[in-house]
Amino acid sequence: MSMNNQGRPTRAVGAATSGAASTFTGNKALQIEEGLIFEIGHFAETGVDLPEPEGVESRLGDLARSSEIGLPGLSEPETMRHYVRLSQKNYAIDMGPFPLGSCTMKHNPRLNEKVARLPGFADLHPLAPQDSVQGALEVIDTLAHWLKELTGMPAVAMSPKAGAHGELCGMMAIKAAIDARGEAGVRTRVLAPESAHGTNPATAVQCGFSVDGIPADDTGRVDLAALKEKLGPDVAGIMVTNPNTCGLFERDIKAIADAVHEAGGYFYCDGANFNAIAGKVKPGDLGIDAMHINLHKTFSTPHGGGGPGSGPTVLSDALAPFAPAPFVVKDDARYHLVESRAAAKEEGEAASSIGRLTAFHGQFGMFTRALSYMMSHGVDGVAQAAEDAVLNANYVQARLKTEMTAAFDGYCMHEALFDDRFLKETGVETVDFAKAMIDEGYHPMTMYFPLVVHGAMLIEPTESESLRELDQFCDALIHLAKKAKAEGPDAFKAAPIHAPRRRLDETAAARKPVLRWTPERPPQAAE
Amino acid sequence: MLGVIGAHKIDDLFADVPADALNADFDLPDHMGEMAVERALGAMAAKNRAAGAGPFFVGGGAYKHHVPATVDHIIQRSEFLTAYTPYQPEVAQGTLQYLFEFQTQVAALTGMDVANCSMYDGSTGCGEAALMARRITKRIKAVVSGGLHPQYAAVTRTNLELVGGQVDCAPIDPGAKEDLAAQIDDDTACVIVQNPDVFGNVRDLAPIAKAAQAKGALLIAVVTEAVSFGAVKSPGEMGADIVVAEGQSIGNPLGFGGPYVGLFATRQKYVRQMPGRLCGETVDAEGKRGFVLTLSTREQHIRRDKATSNICTNAGLCSLAFTIHMTLLGEAGLRRLATLNHQAACKTADALSAVNGVAVLNQRYFNEFTLRLPKKADDVVAALAEDGVLAGVPGGRLWPDDPQAENLLIVAATECVSDEDIRTFTLKLREALQ
């Protein structure tokens, strides 16, 4: 296998050799080096035993593919080994704590996986006749009921494919409502805290709005006075995460909602942190107009290495008429799917629908998993999950704040935010501290987010961690903090040394992107 | 734990919540045991008729294919299933390497230079492609073929109109006879054509690619049946600038419409205008090859309001299923699979066209074709469903407002269709039309 034959800079700052003896194979016991399928595969072989074709004459004419595609194949045992070896280079929730703040890496119950694979759910076509899919429509309707009830909101759009897609849905509904009021082109500004997720401003812009930042007060919450100053007749609405990205509940949430409504705007709540309050608080009681719910966070559908997500979006009475197609309606004992704008109009519901956000009906496979989680936990269990998540985060905050610096005083919600003051003059930076955690067997916390805190470290333990696991984790972080203060940066700058790879050169990757394998050297992107 | 925290009770930790909103009442049931949940959800599943329960010919953007058992086993490995987005590359090389392999496979299949590591699905990819064309050309209009899946067209309209764009949809075109060249003008950012189209026609994209590019517009090719890449000339070979595809057919179940996996590929020169995540090769501090997410200066978590898209996730696990299945198939397997699909469709079309009053509208097709029936296809599909045959997608389902579509039935036949299925379908169709 050829490696590093590109003459790239190969040393990160302070990187020393790991000190471990090298092996003939490059493997390190259980860590097996694995080539790309293009290096180990065969172009004439297949691992699938399909029947021999009968030789029917092609009806593709001159549009048949004659050129070589360039796809290697592996036999079944080779395939299994390739992906198992790759899997062993990944960290995962099932291996240990995954304390990524804002990401909610909780345990993924396997019952959910089992249920989602029932043929009556998995082997179901989205365009099959509706009489043949009544059970699937019942799943959608039942999940919708749970989401509406848990949030205290009257309507929910089920089709958004992920959290950011749900944001788009909610902000589109707000835009449509403003247009319907005859204020198109007048209300063009959206307010969002400086601590907001990056998706918030990106979504607002995708809807044609401009974005105006709201500063935080010194307790880490929206500065209500500053917000009020920014409100005006050109404001379409506000996007606020609650609990916010500092892990704090917005105490003034009702006042915020009132002020925005009084100014003629709408309140979009980013529901990324709903898991802190689910079963305890109905966001509808706080005055919001729209909120997406990440089923892959709060309701435990697996993150899958970056998707698929699912982002159903609840809507207030003011926004419900603009809900996207499709949606499920129940009359007598029969469910039916309303699939087009015109049909929605006839239905009277969603009479001014924003249209369609995706083909078909949303992430159904995530609906079955989330519903399985909800039914297993019940509303009592959902509330307890929120309480335990908040308890665990506060425990971590209380134990760590002796050696690390908490960004704000007081209790937190489901995640604890630290800044890098405790690393001052150690020469160790947040990223070094995070990489040293890898060598201790932990996935790093979210770092450098939210942006309002210097060198931020955002830790979300979730309810899934036991006290024993939390104590081990805290012991390890306290050890690292003391070590940074006592010994300085050298060991930290070299970390990680025990992971499948040392620090990777991300600058070189972006400067000359190599985005695919090619037999010769890959093409270079335009600078 | 409360003692360490310095609180007396749990609700002390919720003190910032307005008191009248805390501990709300919910009209929801309490917890249930694993057995009871399985029973309750199993009962809902049992009310559905699975595709595998009988002769099945439904397509229209989602296809029933056989998925090797190896695929589902691997994607359930904890290290793939319960990992996060690979932002910490030192402990995510497994995910990153398969994404790099996935990107290479997608680029090869589509005949393009580069591919990203997936979109939510084909339809949202189509909307994003139209937005990308708008960014590149600084023009506002999309010209949409009458052969594009109407739900894809609707998503594109939703995306473009939101930012003041304009969508010109051609009338439905079951015979693949339209000429879109006349509709391309100086405001046209892109022309969007599906191939094979929603009626199953295989189209030559080269003339429309030339016509679009001559006026400074881009050709976006949409593919909803990824198995067709094994039989049909690639969009790249025919001159497409952006290719979006639904990858469900490879490795992923029908799943009532999602989650699926969108494939997105383009020319090298447009790579920095692409939406979504990209995985790139680099080296680590010891010089060993490794992979990272790259060009993130296009993305929302860095660029915020200047991002190319608000997308934050991709279809991670579905792209893993895709790439495992494609690796098992290899070039030889994919070509054979495509041939088996084409063969099933040819046999089905021949059998059905022998039924009185039924006409096959397609000249060239891959594994899907359109019938014109002597009566409303909705009614025919309902009658055949009673007899256990899921016959296809009736035109009225996809174009409820277009009377021209009423008698059209879109029929898909994959490798899962047996000769016996074709005989049963033919027999039942003959009965239904009598």
- Domain match, B286 and B198 both: yes
Worst-scoring range by mean pLDDT, A59-68, B153-162, B308-317?
B308-317
Task: Check residue B182 and report its DSSP letter.
Answer: G
Taking the CA atoms of A225, A226, A230 and A236 in sequence, report the sign of the dihedral they define: negative
Establish if A380 touches chain B: CB-CB under 8 angstroms.
yes
Residue A12, pLDDT above cutoff 60: no
Average pLDDT, stretch B300-318? 79
pLDDT classification of A526: cutoffs 50, 70, 90: very low
Residue B346 lies in a domain: yes
Is A184 at the interface with chain B, CB within 8 A?
no
Query: Is B305 within 8 Å of A343 when comparing Cβ atoms?
Result: no
B-chain CB neighbours of A71 within 8 Å are 105, 108-109, 326, 329-331, 334
pLDDT given for residue B243 in this prediction:
98
Q: Which residues contact B81 (CB under 8 A, 6 or more apart)?
A: A92, A94, A108, A113, A302, A304, B75, B317
This model of the complex carries an ipTM of: 0.97
**Looking at the predicted structure, is the pLDDT value of residue A20 above 90?**
no
Same structural domain for residues B282 and B375?
Answer: no
Q: What is the pLDDT of residues A438-484, one digit of tens each?
A: 999 999 999 999 988 999 999 999 999 999 999 999 999 999 999 99
Please compute the mean of the pLDDT values over residues A54-67 and round it to a whole number: 94
CB contact under 8 A, A379 and B253: no
A106, closest residue in chain B (CA to CA): B82
CB contact under 8 A, B5 and A391: yes
Residue B266, strand partner residues: B114, B242
Q: What is the pLDDT of residue A2?
A: 31
Domain identity same for B376 and B408: yes
What is the per-residue pLDDT for A43? 87
Which pLDDT does position B105 carry in this prediction?
98
Q: Is A198 on the interface with B (CB under 8 A)?
A: yes
| Strands (E) located in A40-149 | none
A20 burial type by CB count under 10 A (0-12 exposed, 13-18 middle, 19+ buried): exposed
CATH number of the domain at B134, please: 3.40.640.10
Calculate the average pLDDT of chain A: 92
Give CA–CA dist A397/A276, Å, rounded.
15
Based on the fold, state whether residues B162 and B230 are members of the same structural domain: yes
Type of residue numbered A399: R
User: Across-strand partners of A189?
Assistant: A210, A235
Of the candidates B292, B307, B325, which is a domain's last residue?
Answer: B325
Nearest CA among A94, A112, A108, A107 for reference residue A462:
A107
Closest by CA position to B123, among listed A167, A199, A161: A161
- B264 confidence band (pLDDT: 50, 70, 90): very high
Task: Return the structure tokens found at A177.
Answer: 């409502």
How many C-beta atoms lie closer than 10 Å to residue A460's C-beta?
31
* Statement: residue A5 has pLDDT above 50: no
Q: CA–CA distance from B266 to each of B107, B114, B180 (Å)?
A: 8, 6, 22
Nearest to A124 among B15, B51, B103 (CB): B51
B352 in a domain, yes or no?
yes
> Can you tell me the distance from the alpha carbon of A474 to that of A466, in angstroms, rounded to the nearest whole number?
12
Rounded-to-integer distance, Cα A261 and Cα A177, Å: 13
Task: Give the whole-angstrom CA distance, residue B362 versus residue B380.
Answer: 20
> Is residue B259 in a domain?
yes
Domains and CATH numbers, chain A: 112-371 (3.40.640.10)
Shared domain for B74 and B210, answered yes or no, is yes
Per-residue confidence band for A519, with pLDDT thresholds at 50, 70 and 90: confident
Q: What is the pLDDT of residue A362?
A: 96
- Residue B180: the pLDDT is 96
Q: Report the residue of chain B nearest A524, measured CA to CA.
A: B268
Q: Which residues of B136-170 are buried (b: 16+ CB within 10 A; e: fewer)?
A: bbebebbbbbbbbbbbbbbbbbbbbebeebebebb
Same domain, yes or no: B273 and B184: yes
Residues 369-388 of B with CB under 8 A from A: 381-382, 385
Residue of A nearest to B148 (CA): A359
Closest CA to B89 of A82, A443, A301, A38: A443
Residue B33 counted as domain residue: no
Q: Which domain holds residue B61?
A: 53-67+331-433
Report the pLDDT value the prediction gives residue A351, as an integer from 0 to 100: 65
A314-343 pLDDT per residue, tens: 999 999 999 999 999 998 889 999 988 777
Find the CATH number of the domain harbouring B408.
Answer: 3.90.1150.10
Chain B interface, mutation test: which of A65, A195, A268, most B Cβ atoms within 10 Å?
A65
Tokens encoding A419: 């800044």
pLDDT band of A521, cuts 50, 70, 90 = low
Arithmetic mean of pLDDT over chain B:
96
Same domain, B213 and B117: yes
Q: What is the pLDDT of residue A341?
A: 73
Mean pLDDT of all residues in B392-417: 97
Alpha-carbon distance of A167 to A163, in angstroms, equals 6
Q: Are residues B155 and B137 in the same domain?
A: yes
pLDDT band, very low/low/confident/very high, at B306 (cuts 50, 70, 90): confident
Can you list the positions of beta strands (E) in B274-400?
Answer: 278-283, 289-294, 359-360, 368-372, 393-394
Q: Does A86 touch chain B (CB under 8 A)?
A: yes
Domain boundary among B325, B352, B375: B325
According to the model, what pLDDT value does residue A522 have? 47
The 10 Å Cβ neighbour count of residue A210 is 13
Alpha carbons B251 and B261: distance in angstroms, whole number: 10
The stretch A357-383 carries a mean pLDDT of 98
Q: Could you tell me the two tokens for A85?
A: 């070896």
Q: Is the residue at B15 inside a domain?
A: no
Please report the pLDDT score of residue B310 as a whole number. Answer: 77
- Which residues of A, range 137-176, sit inside 8 Å of B by Cβ? 138-139, 142, 146, 149-150, 152, 161-165, 167-168, 172, 175
pLDDT at A434: 98
* B401 and A CB contact within 8 Å: yes
Q: Which pLDDT score is estimated for A472? A: 98
Please say if the pLDDT value at position A1 is more than 70: no
pLDDT of residue A294: 96
- In angstroms, the CA B156 to CA A518 distance is 33
Q: How far apart are CA A148 and CA A97, in angstroms?
A: 31
Which regions of B276-346 does DSSP assign to beta strands (E)?
A: 278-283, 289-294
**Per-residue model confidence (pLDDT) at position B342:** 98
Subunit contact A358:B81, Cβ cutoff 8 A = no
Question: What average pLDDT does this structure show over A144-159?
Answer: 98
> Do A187 and A235 form a contact (C-beta atoms < 8 A)?
yes
Report, as an integer, the average pLDDT of B315-342: 97
Residue contact A503–B365, C-beta within 8 A: no
The answer to the question of residue B336 being in a domain is: yes
Tokens 């043949």 sit on residue: A132
**Statement to judge: residues B319 and B360 lie in one domain:** no
Say what the pLDDT of residue A4 is. Answer: 36
Confidence of residue B313 (pLDDT cuts 50, 70, 90): confident
- Is B352 found in the same domain as B248? no
Q: Identify whether B26 is part of a domain.
A: no
Q: What is the pLDDT of residue A156?
A: 97
Residue A339: predicted pLDDT: 87
The pLDDT value given to residue B242:
98
Q: Does B30 touch chain A (CB under 8 A)?
A: yes
- Is the pLDDT confidence value at A11 over 60? no
Domain boundary pick from B325, B341, B365: B325
User: Is residue B296's pLDDT more than 90?
Assistant: no
Cis peptide before B86 (omega within 30 of 0): no
pLDDT at A81 over 50: yes
pLDDT at A14: 42
pLDDT of residue A348: 64
Tell whether A468 is within 8 A of chain B (Cβ): no
B107/B251 same-domain check: yes
Residues B61 and B92 occupy one common structural domain: no
Task: Give the model's pLDDT for residue B299.
Answer: 73
Stretch 285-344 of chain B: residues touching chain A, C-beta under 8 Å = 285-292, 294-297, 299-307, 309-320, 324, 326-334, 336-337, 339-340, 342-343
pLDDT at A7 over 80: no
Give phi and psi for A21, each to the nearest 5: -65, 140
pLDDT of residue B11: 97
Q: What total of structural domains would you count in chain B?
A: 2
- Local structure of A27: helix, strand or coil: coil
> Do the domain assignments include residue B19?
no
Q: Please say whether the beta carbons of A360 and B257 come within 8 A.
A: yes
Buried b (16+ CB within 10 A) or exposed e, A488-521: ebebbbbbbbebbbbbbbbebbbeebbbbbeeee
Of A64, A306, A515, the CB nearest to B86: A306
